[in-house]
Amino acid sequence: MVLYNPLRTAITPVLVTPVGGSGNTQFNLTFPDQTIRGDYQLTVGPSVADAAGHFMNQNGNSANGEAADSYTGVMTFAPAAAQTGPGPILFEETFENWPPVPPHWSFQSTPYGGGGLSSWSPRRGANCLALGANGGDTSAGSHSGMAVLAVDLSRQIGQTNLFLEFWISGWVLAVEVSNDAQSWQQILSVAGGPNGYIQYRVELTKLGH
């Protein structure tokens, strides 16, 4: 059994204890407190046997204990969003204070992508955000990844002149915004070679959010 965090790192230790009175049909998992926002993936089996020695058969065919008979589930953990401070810069992410990954960042893998911190050619300071395979390894060939920054802008409702400003460098990059993390509006799509950093500035108050 393996429990992965959103950076595709296995969490250790994970202790498994039967729920009292369940007849060993329910189990509690105990693991260190997690702070990273995003999808946690749990894989169980297939070499888990019932009392009669039958291994798992998650795909329901005639053979037990195959690689395809393991169970995989995903749980989404969303701790608090980042809060804004006094202006003129309401929120600034410099990536200089990782680790740990702040709980307002999350990552998704598609399938081996992900995000993480990189010291590879940051525009400013020692760190930048990297989207790539296995937690930001941009050397691992073709891959994709998504990082989500959750910022609470409820104090800025009705405000004008609200901007999102950032520097990016890479092959193909898309930036989307959402006010509910369900429906997303693409505000930027860039295709081109890694010709160095380019600064972008988007006026959020003109997006209809």
What residues line the site for Ca ion (CB under 5 A)? 57, 59, 61, 63, 66, 69, 94-95, 122, 124-125, 127
Give the residue among 152, 159, 107 at the shortest CA–CA distance from 133. Answer: 107
Q: 51: Cβ–Cβ under 8 A, 6 or more apart, which residues?
A: 24
Q: Is 42 or 65 the residue whose CB approaches Ca ion more closely? A: 65
- Minimum CB distance to Ca ion, residue 12 (Å): 28
Q: Is 57 or 134 the residue whose CB approaches Ca ion more closely? A: 57
**Rounded to 5 degrees, what are φ and ψ at 96?**
-90, -10
- Minimum CB distance to Ca ion, residue 77 (Å): 26
How many CB atoms lie under 10 A from the CB of residue 124?
11
- Minimum CB distance to Ca ion, residue 65 (Å): 7
Q: Is 115 or 122 the residue whose CB approaches Ca ion more closely? A: 122
Q: Is 109 or 128 the residue whose CB approaches Ca ion more closely? A: 128
- As a residue count, the chain comes to 209
Angstrom distance (rounded) from CA 191 to CA 197: 13
Alpha-carbon Rg for the chain in angstroms: 21
- Minimum CB distance to Ca ion, residue 124 (Å): 5
